[in-house]
Amino acid sequence: MRETEIHDVIVVGSGAAGAMAALRAAELGLSVLVVEKAHKYGGTSATSGGVMWIPNHQLTPNDDSREHALEYLGQLIDVPVQRDRLEAYVDQAPQMIRFLKSLGVPLVPSAWTDYFPHLPGARADRSIVCDTFDGRELGAKFTLMREQYTRFKLLNRYSMDLPEFFSISTRGKGWIQAFLKILWRYWSDLGTRALTKRDRRFTNGTALMGPLYKRIFAHGVEVRLETRLDELVLEQGEVVGVTVSNFGRRYTIRARHGVVLCAGGFEWNQELRDRFLPVPGLTRHSSSPEDANRGETLIAGMKIGAATEHTDDAWWIPTMHMPMPRASNFEEIHQAAFDVGRPHSVCVNRNGDRFVDEACGYDEFGEAMVADQLKTGANTPCWLVFDATFRKNYTAGGFMPTLIMPDLVIPPDWWDHYIFRAPTIEGLAAKIHVPVDALRRTIGNMNVYAQTGVDPQFGRGGNDYDRMFGDPAVSPNPCLGAIDTPPYYAVPINLGDLGTKGGLKADARARVIDSSGQPIPKLYVAGNNSGSPFGNRYPGAGGTIGPAMTFAFVAINDIAERSRARAASA
């Protein structure tokens, strides 16, 4: 590429924020280039659940409103945030959704309870997903979209949507039929099997990214892969382009109207974790794509004087690690977001004590791990302890129920390293080095709570969100079951994350702000490389992707408005 290469807009990163920025720019007639450092496009968003948290979306008749959303967020957020930016999100998110709907993107509101259902203004219809997408509609670029993790696939191969996952992982009603349907759908697809082993059925995050990129490519937009941001080009106080590298070759690309930073956070940069996070955790415990989000845009922005905010927090999620299939020397991370709150189990720190309502939202669970680690020094990791009833019916991270993964098929080198088992509570306590009296007392308390249906310590199962992921066959509380059937098991639970919550500080128009509080001309940011509008809180499913796409939409609208103004002036 020549030094004189120029586009109206350069977008850095190809996840949900980058896709929205590229699509909106193309729809408004701007020339746009997307640069992506990975060899596949779609970013972390493609590997996610693909959910957008959009208050007052009005896709279906309901009584949600701007006021209800702000009431909920006002009660929820307990750190200083930019009020105008928060209001901009609530106002612009429905506009962004209407834009997608006008293009025919298949949007489906889901009955997913806000993560703090007890607060005024909380609802159960603000999380939006996309219908399953046929990957072959992307043509030759089908196999170049980042693929879902094997942990989200049945038997490490077959795509599952969220209802299928929950049905099979909990052996819910109709799970066998769902299991067989998935297998038949894959193997009867002879045309795709002749092309690739990859399932053409895009679900979850890829179901969101598929229709976006179908429309992006229809506009002729280039997504330049294996192209990493090295520096922002600053001339006379404004950003005029980027310096990138591709297999060691560095070159500069110029932008007429703006650069939009849409890359991920810094969760795979241990140096930045140690610098910013109060309990840093380890990069390898993150559940985002390995070594992907290393904070390049954050570093580049700080180099030219950009301010930062909320860098002391992450989008936490409990994770566990286990060997990769057929490669025991290599580990992969499995999310345990819903497993930790299933009945017949309890989570304890290394003192044998509970520290949280285990069925709460996964980010809240991680916040509790951080708080307990700072208080006791005996967390991160903690332990998920469960009995044979749990083992029979539910998943524990990568360990499937016994009908699918019986104990006898678990390799011998996994026992007492990734999963622990003993015939008694005392034997299990000895193996995981937890005080036996404390563990016995904690489990005894849980057994009493299972009988009464009330958890007086932390209120587990006492709200709509908790019960949504409990087992309806268990009563009187679907989240509480006796831990009394040997053998007993334990798996270590890491302080994992979906990404970091903080990054470059932006205003209500998505413009990056410098240390004096002034916008840096022509530089915009959206996604996890920017500070979350929610500060340290996670309001509901899709609380990362919703703002990412909204502020990418806002950024391009501002760029288009300014470019028109400059053209009129000229």
pLDDT (tens, 9 = 90+) of the chain, 570 residues, equals: 445 799 999 999 999 999 999 999 999 999 999 999 999 999 999 999 999 999 999 999 999 999 999 999 999 999 999 999 999 999 999 999 999 999 999 999 999 999 999 999 999 999 999 999 999 999 999 999 999 887 778 877 889 887 887 787 777 788 888 888 888 999 998 889 988 999 999 999 999 999 999 999 999 999 999 999 999 999 999 999 999 999 999 999 999 999 999 999 999 999 999 999 999 999 999 999 999 999 999 999 999 999 999 999 999 999 999 998 778 888 999 999 999 999 999 999 999 999 999 999 999 999 999 999 999 999 999 999 999 999 999 999 999 899 889 999 999 999 999 999 999 999 999 999 999 999 999 999 999 999 999 999 999 999 999 999 899 999 999 999 999 999 999 999 999 999 999 999 999 999 999 999 999 999 999 999 999 999 999 999 999 999 999 999 999 999 999 999 888 887
Q: Is residue 464 part of a domain?
A: yes
In a domain, 391, yes or no: yes
Rounded (5°) CA angle 309-315-318 = 150
The answer to whether residue 374 is domain-embedded is yes
Distance, in Å, from the CA atom of 182 to the CA atom of 153, rounded to the nearest integer, reads: 10
CA–CA separation, 387 vs 345, rounded Å?
A: 7
Task: Give tens-digit pLDDT for 338-377.
Answer: 999 999 999 999 999 999 999 999 999 999 999 999 999 9
307 close to 283: Cβ distance less than 8 angstroms: no
Instruction: Determine, yes or no, domain membership for 362.
Output: yes
Residue 30 lies in a domain: no
Full-prediction pTM beyond 0.85?
Answer: yes
Range of the domain at 369: 315-497
Is residue 425 within 8 A of residue 440, CB to CB? The reply is: yes
* Residue 261 near residue 301 (C-beta atoms within 8 A): yes
- Percentage helix, strand, coil, to 5, in the chain? 35, 25, 40
> How confident is the model over 155-171, as pLDDT tens digits?
778 898 878 877 877 77
In sequence order, what are the residues at sequence separation of 6 or more whose Cβ sits closer than 8 angstroms to the Cβ of residue 85?
506, 507, 508, 533
Whole-angstrom Cα distance, residue 349 to residue 454? 22
For the chain, the domain total comes to 1
User: Rounded CA gap, 84 and 381, in Å?
Assistant: 38
CATH of the domain at 422: 3.90.700.10
Tell me whether residue 222 is in a domain. Answer: no
Would 74 be classed as within a structural domain? no
Q: What is the pLDDT of residues 453-473, one digit of tens each?
A: 999 999 999 999 999 989 999
Mark 286-321 as b/e (b = at least 16 C-beta within 10 Å): bbbbeebbbbbbbbbbeebebbbbbbebbbbbbbbb
Position 520 in a domain: no
